[in-house]
Amino acid sequence: MIAGLVSLVIGLVAMSVGWNHWRYRKQETINVLEAAMLRSAGEEPLPLTRLDWFLKYLQAGLGFVLGPFFILAGVAIILSELEML
């Protein structure tokens, strides 16, 4: 039962990550930690490279593919555990 719930949570997190990366795919975004480090150093972030753009699309795609997989696996595990009871 716990493995099913963990898989369900992982799937939901992967879907939300995929959604956020897809939503902001055309904007140059940086994470909070990098922004804090740059602010303390008084620097500006570097422009994104082609690899950065590719990885942004890749993370969105993987979130949309792996999210439903883990959700379905979690539901299957939970249902099989409930069937045993």
Q: What is the pLDDT of residue 19?
A: 95
Query: Is the pTM for the entire model greater than 0.75?
Result: yes
Band (pLDDT 50/70/90 cuts) for residue 28 is confident
Give the whole-angstrom CA distance, residue 32 versus residue 55.
Answer: 18
Band (pLDDT 50/70/90 cuts) for residue 23 is very high
Contact by Cβ (8 Å): 8, 71: yes
Show Cβ contacts of residue 83 under 8 Å, excluding neighbours closer than 6 positions.
none
> What does the buried/exposed string (b/e) look like for 31-47 if buried means 16 or more CB atoms within 10 Å of the residue's CB?
eeeeeeeeeeeeeeeee
